[in-house]
Structure 1
Amino acid sequence: MLRPLAGLLCICLVASKATAAESFGFSDVAAKARDLAQQGWSAPPGIPDFLREIEYSRYQEIRFREDRNLWRDSDSPFQVMLTPAGKHFTHAVALNEIRDGEVQPIPFARDNFSYPSEEFAKRIPADLGYAGFRLTYPLRGPDINNQFLAFAGASYFRGVGRSDGFGLSARGVAIDTGLSSGEEFPSFIEFWLEKPAGGAEEMVLYALLDGPSLTGAYRFTVRPGDALEVDVQAQLFFRNQVGLAGYAPLTSMFYYGENTLRPLGEWRPQTHDSDGLLVVDGDSGEWLWRPLINPASLRMSYLRANNPKGFGLIQRDRDFRDFQDLEARYERRPSAWVEPRGDWGKGNVVLVEIPTRSEVNDNIVAFWAPEESPGAGDSVELAYTLTFGPPDITGSPAGAAMNTFVGDGNRIGGGDQDGAYRILVDFAGGALDKTDPGADVVSHVSAVGDTRVLEHFVEYSEPTGQWRLSMLVKPPPDQTLDLRAYLSREGEPLTETWTYELPPGLDIRSQ
């Protein structure tokens, strides 16, 4: 549930001490966050310059020793690997474990890591601390410690299902993302890890967040498996009014795909961690799909989603032939799906698309934003389930837009209309898969603004077993092309609603 509160009570911050496990819980973390919000913000102590300025390849040579995994000598199927500070991880976090009925700090030890050289190891401060941690679980065999969830850097965390490789990230919160005022990056500054019993299939951990404009308390209940489920309970305490509060944020990368130009010199067909945003509006129940783009300038889209039933960044391209990258293996990148619990009220799913000339930059952010941003002294409670895994984690019953192709509408195969685009969308899944190829499937296409829809039709694609919607559309010069489309039969929708925006500056009709 998402609920604004007022009149915050100041509670004295208690230093971390051994505490009975049964007496420690979410309310204790919330009390710390509430008190911290009454104080001025101070940036966490930084790490030495040589670690912050280290080359990425050099940082990768600092490796945690697997024989030092936390809980390795217990019967718990969960273990914990610790993350070294350095490069992008510019401050340490406090780590605690709840074990044998007590909360105890996890002390830093230099010899938990192997280093590039002895000379390098000597420069590591004895009290440096850890940047975060990675959780392991035997997903692919009883004797294999598979990493499935990692917390490190600001409030970022990444998760995978059984067959996935790491890709997009989630965050605790997003503050003023995409605004000209500049984005804030609050950080998790302390964690408490509750040691699971032998044979346990889930694990609980708590986190304390701090940033210039707010603090926060979090409880994560994690269940690894074919898909990773993370139940999130959070309470946020705002020090200041913010311009744009983003809840359950997801961060990903889209460099180029089937609906964009391939950069000059690129041999791979596509390069992205996610290829679209999926949203379920709570009022209408409509499933809305938006293919991602790599814009020429920053773009922010507000997709109305009152009391949303779900939203996420999805990787629908799951075939190696879609990417041809033996190293990155983008076809194994997970999707992430947010399912809110309780009534979140009126608001929008915000999609931020940032220009990038490289796949190393995370340039896509999606989150839910309330209609009215919280003010100084407000508190917000929210709960949701976040799932990492294959694209079917959404549970969508509708036919899905699997491919979007965009080309010139004034050439052979495209049409004979100067200034127009030929756009093709392949749909599959849901009731479409049981629809006879000769059935009367109807296409519905509408444009926003002055874009003209010159023609549209749908046909069955025998080679792929999908239904292809073909559109010829013409936007006014220097205006954004903005379309919506879906398929139906006998008056009943068969598919989600496909939406697409192509702004000026991304003219892919001729090069």
Structure 2
Amino acid sequence: MLLAITAGGCFNLAAQQDNTPLVDPVSPIAIKLNTEVQPTVLPPVSLEQTSKARFAKTASFDSDSVVKIARRLAQKPYVTLTDPLPPGLAKISYDEYRDIRFKPEASIWKAEGLPYQMQLFHRGFYFQDLIEIALVEGKQATHLAYNSEYFSAGDVLSQRLPTEDIGYSGLRIHYPLNSPAYFDELMVFQGASYFRALGKGSDYGLSSRGLALNTAEPEGEEFPIFRAFWVERPNTDSNLIVVHALLDSPSVAGAYRFSVRPGDNTHIDVEATLFPRIDLVKVGLAPSTSMFLHSMNGRQNTDDFRPEVHDSDALLILNGRGERLWRPLANPKQLQVSAFMDNSPQGFGLIQRERSFEAYQDLEAHYERRPSLWVEPVGNWGAGEVVLTEIPTDSEIHDNIVSYWKPKQAIAAGSEFHFTYRLIWGNEPEVDDGTVIVARTASGRADIAKATPRRLFVIDYQVKEGNNDEIPVAQVQSSAGVITNVVISRQPKTNGYRLAFEMDPQDAELIELRAELKFTGPRDVETWLYRWTL
């Protein structure tokens, strides 16, 4: 899913039926190895002759280089970097922008036979900002200046590509993820501080961000941007690639280091240091952004042939007490924000648990192949809360779900705030044998007599590699309204249980629900949480 950043939020530029990077008609990019055509080697343009690089310069480089740049940047007032595109490119259309494609034969490191290749995104359309890129080898960084020979343009684009160093709008990393014979698109950095990655066998879905500021606040969200990237040359005998990034915004500067290891699940270790210019009060660490249109627990106003449409179906939290919380997502009528207080969380993330084609019935979007994104804090993150923001939407092209960690204490201006976490793209976290997890949530009318009728909730549970011999006791709590007709029974299709109950909202317009299964002995069971709104 490709994101365009606006003053009010983000939305998907590519329709879900396409599900491709904006600049290419096919995704993932598959570059065949060992072709008979010899690759074209296109060296970067000389920095000294053409580049106006401010950050990703040709210079010595070490592990602290980006941290030092961010520290110096934060000591000065924020300056909007204005690097206008040539007039012909500044106002090109969506179709014209898609017509500018990176030449696969020009991929960085292609001629060297390394385990990774890198391609670049052109500037234009919504991606106007100049992003600087440097290649790092040993202790030396070399600025990668814009080169029009890296790109081809078809018949749609009527403008000539520039010759001066206009920079890029982002980059993407390729790796033979699914087959040794092809370099698949593995990871993309493009648009503000957004990035996304894939595990083996998955398609692009939700995105991550470097930082979230003032999300869903009346004063408007602030979108920090990755101004520059330093990409380390990968080793021939390792599947590790390291990307450094410089973050900047009116409120904060920061240095990020991404250590990427692809696989069935792709692991990205993130080390970040923030240098706030102001007190960061409404800050979100390790934010994720996804799309939820409807599922079987929210189809009241849906006219769609597909049973479910979403990139993620729930927020999963493993809190500091070891409790597993499963919160199905919603597409509310009004914006809503939920906060789950915790101390030293073990993990949280937006999960796509429903993996059957039958649940979506979409031959083009294939939502069953969208990755989950799990966040594992490294070290003690202290007190705070996992925040979930759900924004109303009537279209699957909009990303309307945001989750992140909000520290209890503001990050003070002038301080240096370091945090580390791991992102896992692909499957959701494994659970021990015998663990009872939520397999499905559905809801509907329980009667037709009232203007605001009772709601029927049906929750299916699955026992992972265990038995469902014991029928547990079901406890359902609500913050308002009245709960009746609580029934728990075996669910043979999921090797688990089905919990059903009715809820009469009475005069309430918002109700928090909580369901737990109690067994006679110790057993790991997910706690089901839900917010019902009128």
TM over 0.5: yes
Q: What secondary structure sits across from 1:107 in the alignment? A: coil
Q: Which amino acid is 1:281 matched to?
A: N
- 2-side partners of 1:185 and 1:418: how far apart? 40
Distance 2:163 2:255 in 1: 29
Equivalent-residue separation in structure 2 for 1:462 and 1:396 (angstroms): 18
1:103 and 2:133 matched: no
Q: So what's the TM-score if we normalise by structure 2?
A: 0.85
> Alignment partner of 1:196: what SS?
coil
Of 351, 354, 357, which aligns to 1:320?
Answer: 357
Report the Cα offset of residue 276 of structure 1. Answer: 0.5
1:42 is matched with 79
Q: Which residue of 2 aligns with 1:461?
A: 491
Hey, what does 2:26 align to over in structure 1? Answer: none
**1:349 equivalenced with 2:386 (yes/no):** yes
Q: Which residue of 1 aligns with 2:477?
A: 446
The match for 1:422 among 456, 460, 480 is 456
Matched, 1:69 2:107: yes
Structure 1: gaps spanning 5 or more residues: 1-12, 505-511
Asked if the contact 1:409–1:417 (Cα under 8 Å) also holds between the matched residues in 2, the reply is no
Partner in structure 2 of residue 219 of structure 1: 257
Residue 67 of structure 1 aligns to a residue whose secondary structure is: helix
Shift of 1:263: 4.7
- Structure 2: where are the runs of 5+ without partners? 1-52
In 2: Cα distance, 1:396 partner to 1:48 partner: 60
Deviation at 1:59, TM superposition (A): 2.0
User: Are residues 1:402 and 2:439 paired?
Assistant: yes
Structure 1: distance between partners of 2:431 and 2:522: 21
> How has the CA–CA distance of structure 1 residues 15 and 209 changed in structure 2, closer, same or farther, with 3 Å as cutoff?
closer
Q: Which residue of 1 aligns with 2:225?
A: 187
Show CA shifts across 1:456-484 (max 9, x none): 12111224433111111122324212111
The alpha-carbon distance between structure 1 residues 417 and 440, as it changes in their structure 2 partners (threshold 3 A), is farther
CA contact (8 A) 1:75 1:197 kept: no
Q: Show CA shifts across 1:145-191 (max 9, x none).
A: 01111101100000110110011000000001111111000000011
Q: Which residue is equivalent to 2:36?
A: none
**Matched pairs, number:** 481
My pick for the range that moved more, 82-91 or 267-276, is 82-91
Distance (whole Å) between structure 2 residues aligned to residue 107 and residue 117 of structure 1: 26
The answer to whether the 8 A contact 2:297-2:442 is kept is yes
Q: Report the CA distance between 1:144 and its aligned residue.
A: 0.5
* Residue correspondence of structure 1 range 255-294 to structure 2 within 5 A: 255-261=293-299, 263-282=301-320, 284-294=321-331
Match of 2:466 in 1: 434
CA RMSD of aligned residues (A): 2.3
Looking at structure 2, the residues matched to 469 and 380 of structure 1 have their Cα atoms a distance apart, in angstroms, of: 45
Query: Could you tell me which of 409, 419, 442 is aligned with 1:372?
Result: 409
Three-state SS of the structure 2 residue aligned to 1:145 is strand
Q: Distance in 2 between matches of 1:19 and 1:58?
A: 36
Residue identity matched to 2:419: L
Query: Structure 1 residues 436, 177: closer, same or farther in 2, change over 3 A?
Result: closer
Asked if 2 retains the 8 angstrom alpha-carbon contact of 1:279 and 1:305, the reply is: no
Q: Is the 8 A contact 2:467 2:495 kept in 1?
A: no
Residue 382 of structure 1: CA displacement?
0.2
Question: Percent of aligned pairs with the same residue?
Answer: 37
In the alignment, does 2:187 pair up with 1:156? no
Question: Per the alignment, in what secondary structure is the counterpart of residue 260 of structure 2?
Answer: strand
| Partner residue, 1:9 | none
C-alpha distance in 2 between matches for 1:305 and 1:54: 47
Alpha-carbon distance in 1 for matches of 2:215, 2:452? 38
Amino acid at match of 2:340: L
Partner SS, residue 387 of structure 1:
strand
Cα deviations across residues 80-128 of structure 1 (Å, max 9, x unaligned)? 0111222232212110011265210111111211113396341546322
Amino acid at match of 2:485: E
Q: Corresponding residue for 1:495?
A: 525
User: Is residue 138–residue 146 contact of structure 1 (8 Å, CA) maintained in 2?
Assistant: yes
| 1:295 aligned to which of 310, 315, 332 | 332
Superposition TM-score, scaled by structure 1 size: 0.89
Q: CA deviation at 1:51?
A: 4.2
In 1, Cα distance between the equivalents of 2:504 and 2:446?
A: 8
Query: Secondary structure in 1 aligned to 2:112?
Result: coil
Deviation at 1:336? Answer: 0.2
Task: Give the distance between the partners of 1:465 and 1:386, measured in 2 at CA.
Answer: 30
Residue aligning to 2:514: 484
Partner of 2:9: none
What CA distance in whole angstroms lies between the structure 2 residues aligned with 1:79 and 1:407?
Answer: 49
Q: Does 1:244 align with 2:317?
A: no
The one-character-per-residue Cα deviations of 1:40-59 (angstroms, maximum 9, x if unpaired) are 21223343565454333332
Structure 2 match to 1:94 = 132
Which residue matches 1:127?
A: 165
Q: Using the alignment, how far apart are the partners of 1:183 and 1:394 within structure 2?
A: 36
Shift in CA distance, 396/36, structure 1 to aligned 2, threshold 3 Å: farther
Alignment partners' CA distance in 2, 1:424 and 1:311: 24
CA contact (8 A) 1:215 1:237 kept: yes
For the residues of structure 1 that align with 2:143 and 2:343, how far apart are their CA atoms?
42
- Whole-Å Cα distance in 2 between the matches of residues 463 and 15 of structure 1? 57
Residues 1:335 and 2:372 aligned together: yes
Is the 8 Å Cα contact of residues 254 and 275 (structure 1) preserved in structure 2?
A: yes
Distance 1:170 1:162 in 2: 18
State the distance in 1 between where 2:190 and 2:508 align.
42
Aligned to 2:8: none
Question: d(CA) in 2 for partners of 1:368 and 1:455?
Answer: 37
- For residue 69 of structure 2, what is the aligned residue in structure 1? 32
Distance of 1:52 and 1:424 partners within structure 2:
52
Cα displacement (A) at 1:319: 1.1
Q: Does the 8 A contact of 1:52 with 1:88 survive in 2? A: no
One-letter amino acid of the structure 1 residue matched with residue 428 of structure 2: P
* Partner Cα distance (1:146, 1:68) in 2: 15
Q: CA deviation at 1:358?
A: 0.7
| Structure 2 residue aligned with 1:60 | 98
Indicate yes or no: 2:395 matched with 1:358. Answer: yes
Partner secondary structure for residue 492 of structure 1:
coil
For 1:193-245, what per-residue CA distance to the aligned partner results, in whole angstroms no more than 9, with x for missing partners?
A: 00111121111111100001000001110000101100000000100123411
- Gap change, CA 1:17 and 1:266, over 3 Å in 2: closer
What is the aligned partner in structure 2 of residue 201 from structure 1? 239
- Secondary structure, counterpart of 1:193 in structure 2: strand
Give the whole-Å Cα distance in 2 for the aligned partners of 1:502 and 1:270. Answer: 18
1:117 paired residue number: 155
CA distance, structure 1, for counterparts of residue 200 and residue 240 of structure 2: 15
